[in-house]
A = this chain, B = another copy of it.
């Protein structure tokens, strides 16, 4: 199909979903929206690139569509925002099959329905490798930033840590083991913690999403807030539970390493002095700087570990 025949087919696929305030969707130079009055807009963009974020031989296109949409949605979740609508820019090789494109689009559409944010426009271009850029708008009355955590608060977590990384390592290593089932699902079909984000919005002082590893992402939060994070190792391992322990055993990894360094979790970490529904307690915010672990043996600082696209190794 030509570019414009593809756009027409995608418009039919995505055009079935209606959303409040969307006055003009796919098919013009731009989408037209009427924002909710009295609310802030929260706006993000994320991009997933073949051979970096996924290998097309290890993941199906439906999952690529789902994952790319959820990765962007996770940014909104971490701001305490309600997703509204999305645009996507796809880069596809000249010989990319129509069936693969429509599988990818079906994954986007499924994720978009799961979080209630229709795709209202986008762009198609040719390129040597597949990439999916997703931009999402959300509404929030009081967006939760990352720079307002204060000493004396507790640290809270919504979602799993380390499972997705275990799944990816299993995939890359060709490990076939039923103890990895939940981990593979976590990597292939991550879920943005929208409901947890909305619940926390009224009470959290600060929050961010964990997509590049807990220590690295929490490092951004404590640096922005001018505080120290003290993580409770026993609570982290307890939250990981048997599911993470089994997955770690299947790939010969340490569950704590997966928790601290593993990426693509799309969990939310938040600071708050009172409990947050849907979150578990994983530590506290204290004076100082850096990310520390509290173990039975004592406290120790952990250096930034996690994914960086341009770090020289």
Chain copies in complex: 2
Report yes or no: B143 in contact with A32, Cβ–Cβ below 8 A: yes
Most-contacted residue by chain B among A76, A124, A137 (CB, 10 A): A137
Assuming A133-B89, A135-B135, is B42 touching A30 (CB within 8 A)? yes
| Bound-state Cα–Cα, A209 to B138, Å | 28
Report yes or no: B133 in contact with A3, Cβ–Cβ below 8 A: no
Query: Is A67's beta carbon under 8 Å from chain B?
Result: no
Report yes or no: B308 in contact with A4, Cβ–Cβ below 8 A: yes
Residue of B at shortest CB range from A88?
B45
| Bound-state Cα–Cα, A35 to B208, Å | 23
Report yes or no: B87 in contact with A43, Cβ–Cβ below 8 A: yes
Query: Is A17's beta carbon under 8 Å from chain B?
Result: no
| Bound-state Cα–Cα, A129 to B131, Å | 11
How many positions in chain A have a CB within 8 Å of any CB in the partner chain? 71
Query: Is A94's beta carbon under 8 Å from chain B?
Result: yes
| Bound-state Cα–Cα, A145 to B25, Å | 11
Contacts of A123 in B (CB 8 A): 45-47, 133
Query: Is A16's beta carbon under 8 Å from chain B?
Result: no
Report yes or no: B208 in contact with A124, Cβ–Cβ below 8 A: no
Residue of B at shortest CB range from A220?
B4
Binary contact readout A66-88 vs B (1 if CB under 8 angstroms, 0 otherwise): 00000000011011010000011
Assuming A44-B121, A79-B30, is B310 touching A1 (CB within 8 A)? yes
Query: Is A24's beta carbon under 8 Å from chain B?
Result: yes
Report yes or no: B310 in contact with A79, Cβ–Cβ below 8 A: no
